Amino acid sequence: MKSLCFVLLVVLVSFATAAFAQSDALKSFDKLKTLAGSWEGLVSVQPPAPDIDGKLMQVMLRTTSMGNALMHEMTGAGRPDDPITMLYLDGNRLLLTHYCDAGNRPRMTGKMSPDGKTVEFDFLDVAGGTEHGYMDHALFTFIDANHHIEDWTYMMPGDKPMHAHFDLRRTK
């Protein structure tokens, strides 16, 4: 009887843990969906990259797939195309897949900070070659309904990080 009670306790704790994790991922995803709209702002890059440092960038975020995905599109002056990033729930995880200019697709797992002001994504894996580098980290900081910041870290060849900071204001 004691072993049956122990097994039931373990099962209940496991379900509670899974429900909490799913709830945290869902909260993070719902918070990100509040960014749906058009955004514009300057980018600063470290180490400096003259082709994009100080340029005006546009970001479009829109929910798609019946609210199950958030598409992030970034464009900028003089850029021939735009990288696409998809954010979505996968079970109890918040995932980000970045369709990179470098020809690869890094994935990251996301988590909201306890104060609800940031959602941070850490590298999970990458499909495709990394000889030209890959996106390694992303951080979304919520200032208010019309202002947010995005910080992206790109690992250049030789594992040298390049940090891009986007200070974005809502245009629509």
pLDDT digits (tens, 9 = 90+) for 112-166: 999 999 999 999 999 999 999 999 999 999 999 999 999 999 999 999 999 999 9
Helix and strand counts by DSSP (H, E) for the chain:
1, 10
Q: What is the pLDDT of residue 3?
A: 58
Instruction: Please provide the DSSP assignment of 70-132 as one string.
Output: EEEEEEETT-SS--EEEEEEETTEEEEEEE-TTS-EEEEEEEE-TTSSEEEEEEEEEES--TT
Number of folded domains that form the chain: 1
> How many other β-carbons are positioned within 10 Å of the β-carbon of residue 147?
14
Q: Which residues pair with 87 in a beta bridge?
A: 70, 96
CA pseudo-torsion sign 145, 59, 122, 137: negative
Reported as a pLDDT band with limits 50, 70 and 90, residue 11 is: very low
Task: Express as a percent the part of the chain with pLDDT over 70.
Answer: 87
Q: What is the pLDDT of residue 12?
A: 37
Reported as a pLDDT band with limits 50, 70 and 90, residue 22 is: low
Report d(CA 111, CA 113) in Å as an integer: 7
Q: Which helix (H) or strand (E) holds 155?
A: strand 147-156
The half-sphere exposure of 37 on its side-chain side, counting CA atoms within 13 A, is 14
Residue 21, pLDDT above cutoff 70: no
Range of the domain at 122: 2-170
Instruction: Evaluate whether 119 touches 144 at the Cβ level (below 8 Å).
Output: no
Residue 17, pLDDT above cutoff 50: no
Reported as a pLDDT band with limits 50, 70 and 90, residue 1 is: low
pLDDT tens for residues 55-81?
999 999 999 999 999 999 999 877 777
Q: What is the CATH number of the domain that holds 102?
A: 2.40.128.20
Closest CA to 140 of 130, 127, 154, 150: 150
Q: What is the pLDDT of residue 35?
A: 98
Instruction: Please report where in the chains the tokens 């082709």 appear, as a residue.
Output: 51
